[in-house]
Amino acid sequence: MANMKDAHTPLGCLAFEADIIDGKAFAAGLMARVKTEVDEIRSTGDKVPGLAVVLVGEDPASTVYVASKRRETQAAGMNSFEHRLPATTSQDDLLTLVGQLNADPTVHGILVQLPLPSHLDADAVIEAIDPAKDVDGFHIANAGKLAVGQTALVPCTPLGCIMLLKDRLDDLTGLHAVVVGRSNIVGKPMAQLLLQEDCTVTVAHRYSRDLPTLTRMADIVVVAVGRPEMVRGDWIKPGATVIDVGINRVIQDGKSRLVGDVAFAEMGHARAITPVPGGVGPMTIGCLLSNTLEAFRRAQARDAAAVKENL
Ligand code: NDP
């Protein structure tokens, strides 16, 4: 936890009393815990968790994400399998690769980097991934399990958000959470996770009426919209906790910089807020590794059960 008074911030204003939620530090702790577990697995067995990442084309942002996933996967002691395919790859060829990764016992997690080139059907590709290896948590089987409260692989970004919230607030029971955004990868799973924590959950979207009034009612506001600084200070009640998922590149004073979906400098009256960058973003990759470890453990448990059954 850092306070605005001693942090490097764009505001530098003493009236800003909100705590800054340091996602970078939390993610580093999460990754260190994953590494410790992987080291133990490595020292006691012949298998280690393996993550396969598939990149189709050369989208610059995706290329950077994939490289950082490889680095972090290897740093955690896991096997990293990277598959780079040309932008002209056909749907059939991509599905064939997914099928091979599904069948590969050294691969415990599969991530197909989105967005895919427009001629490819991302939904069909996601549905082709074995749900037990779907470490992005996007497969309909995992989305369904999350919705009915069964054990699932949970999408990494909302998983990171709920970890930060529980760390900060401890017990979320009975709090009113407003989630702004209803995408399948952030908003909807976020709402499910908050429901599991016994929050009262409101999900808002572009057709929601009087959004500022809705967010002002909330103890927790999670914003995943993709609109730079859309949520203003007077949309947030004093003492609320604000999770800003948005990542927007803007040009200010001739310089390019990242801002969230929340007007950070206006949030001094919040109880706590995630900054952009350095808040939710670093958690996503930590949760990806955590999901890969979880998928590995479940695969080991299934293998052990199958051996027992055949005895
Ligand atoms: P999507 O574009 O898939 O979804 C955006 C959501 O915001 C939609 O539900 C949309 O509503 C809603 N919305 C758009 N405009 C408004 C508005 N004016 N008022 C209220 N709601 C609105 O985005 P994602 O969920 O994929 O991502 C959201 C943001 O989070 C982006 O900035 C993205 O870069 C960032 N992100 C960050 C990650 C991280 O690791 N930190 C990971 C994933 C995303 P409707 O459904 O009605 O269209």
> 138 pLDDT exceeds 80?
yes
For the domain bounded by 47-130, which CATH number is listed?
3.40.50.10860
Q: What is the pLDDT of residues 5-64, one digit of tens each?
A: 334 344 444 579 999 999 999 999 999 999 999 999 999 988 999 999 999 999 999 999
Q: Atom 35, ligand 1: which residue's CA is nearest?
A: 246
The confidence score (pLDDT) of residue 309 equals: 86
- Cβ of 115: how many Cβ atoms within 10 Å? 12
User: In a mutational test of the pocket of ligand 1, which residue from 138, 162, 183, 184 has the highest number of ligand atoms less than 8 Å from its CB?
Assistant: 183
- Centre of ligand 1 to C-alpha 224, Å, is 4
- Centre of ligand 1 to C-alpha 119, Å, is 23
8 Å CB contact between 80 and 51: yes
Q: Where are the beta strands (DSSP E) in 120-246?
A: 176-180, 200-204, 220-223, 241-244
Section 98-127 average pLDDT: 98
- Centre of ligand 1 to C-alpha 9, Å, is 25
Q: Tokens for 236?
A: 């947030």
The confidence score (pLDDT) of residue 62 equals: 95
Q: Atom 22, ligand 1: which residue's CA is nearest?
A: 206
Section 174-182 average pLDDT: 98
> 267 pLDDT exceeds 70?
yes
Q: Atom 17, ligand 1: which residue's CA is nearest?
A: 206
% of residues, the chain, pLDDT over 90: 92
Q: Which of 108, 146, 113, 145 is nearest to 130 (CA)?
A: 108
Partners of 177 in beta bridges: 201, 220
Residues with C-beta less than 6 Å from any ligand 1 atom = 157, 180-183, 185-187, 204-208, 211, 224-227, 245-248, 280-281, 284
| Atom of ligand 1 at shortest range from CA of 284 | 40
- Centre of ligand 1 to C-alpha 38, Å, is 34
Q: What is the DSSP letter of 72?
A: H
The confidence score (pLDDT) of residue 45 equals: 83
Query: What is 155-281's CATH number, 3.40.50.720, 3.40.50.150, 3.90.600.10, 3.30.470.10?
Result: 3.40.50.720
- Compute the mean pLDDT over every residue in the chain, rounded to the nearest whole number: 94
Measured between alpha carbons, how far is 78 from 35 in angstroms, rounded to an integer?
Answer: 8
Q: Which of 215, 247, 249 is nearest to 231 (CA)?
A: 215
Section 183-197 average pLDDT: 98
Torsion sign across C-alpha atoms 115, 118, 122, 128:
negative
At which residue do the structure tokens 């960058």 appear?
A: 277
The confidence score (pLDDT) of residue 5 equals: 39
The confidence score (pLDDT) of residue 7 equals: 40
Q: Atom 39, ligand 1: which residue's CA is nearest?
A: 281
68 burial class (0-12, 13-18, 19+ CB within 10 angstroms)? Answer: exposed
Measured between alpha carbons, how far is 263 from 250 in angstroms, rounded to an integer?
Answer: 13
Q: What is the pLDDT of residues 69-111, one digit of tens each?
A: 999 999 999 999 999 999 999 999 999 999 999 999 999 999 9
Confidence band for 292, pLDDT divided at 50, 70 and 90: very high
Confidence band for 308, pLDDT divided at 50, 70 and 90: confident
Given 22, 134, 136, 219, which residue is catalytic? 136
Q: Which residues of 1-12 are buried (b: 16+ CB within 10 A; e: fewer)?
A: eeebeeeebeee
The confidence score (pLDDT) of residue 46 equals: 82
Q: What is the pLDDT of residues 210-261, one digit of tens each?
A: 999 999 999 999 999 999 999 999 999 999 999 999 999 999 899 999 999 9
Q: Is residue 136 annotated as a catalytic residue, yes or no?
A: yes
The confidence score (pLDDT) of residue 2 equals: 41
Q: Is residue 145 annotated as a catalytic residue, yes or no?
A: no
Secondary structure (3-state) at 204: strand
For the chain, what is the largest distance between any 2 Cα atoms, rounded to a whole number of angstroms?
70
Element (H, E) at 83: strand 79-85
Q: What is the DSSP letter of 28?
A: H
User: In a mutational test of the pocket of ligand 1, which residue from 211, 223, 225 has the highest number of ligand atoms less than 8 Å from its CB?
Assistant: 225
- Centre of ligand 1 to C-alpha 157, Å, is 12
> 4 pLDDT exceeds 90?
no
Domain map of the chain by residue range?
Answer: 47-130, 155-281
Given 69, 133, 145, 188, which residue is catalytic? 69
Measured between alpha carbons, how far is 290 from 163 in angstroms, rounded to an integer?
Answer: 12
- Centre of ligand 1 to C-alpha 231, Å, is 13
Q: Tokens for 21?
A: 């939620």
Q: What is the dihedral of CA 4, 10, 13, 17, to 10 degrees?
A: -30
| Atom of ligand 1 at shortest range from CA of 260 | 32
Q: Quick check: do 47-130 and 155-281 share a fold? A: yes
